[in-house]
Amino acid sequence: MMKKENYLEIFIEGSSPTYGGEIGDDVTLFKKEGTDEVVGVGILNFKERTKGLNNIKLNLPFEVNFSV
């Protein structure tokens, strides 16, 4: 059986030009071109990292609040 990869992207800003760099453990940090301001994060194999939004544990250089 072939394993499917999954990928979650979260952006805190619109569609400005960005670039990304892996910061470890399949986590990519996206920054705005020109200012280097952090505007998003991408997480490869997201489903394997958590069973639900309350169980997300990632070492990111910023805080993310998933509560509604």
The pLDDT of 45-66, averaged and rounded, is: 69
Q: Are 59 and 18 in contact (CB under 8 A)?
A: no
Measure the CA–CA gap between 37 and 55, rounded to whole angstroms. Answer: 27
Predicted model pTM? 0.65
What does the pLDDT read at residue 50?
73
Query: Residue 27 domain-assigned?
Result: yes
Query: Residue 28 domain-assigned?
Result: yes
Q: Are 66 and 56 in contact (CB under 8 A)?
A: yes
Reported confidence tier of residue 60, pLDDT bands at 50, 70, 90: low
Query: Residue 13 domain-assigned?
Result: yes
Residue 62 neighbours by CB distance under 10 Å: 8
Query: Residue 29 domain-assigned?
Result: yes
Q: Write the pLDDT tens digit of every residue in 24-46.
A: 888 899 999 999 888 888 888 88
Share of the chain above pLDDT 70, in %: 65
What does the pLDDT read at residue 4?
65
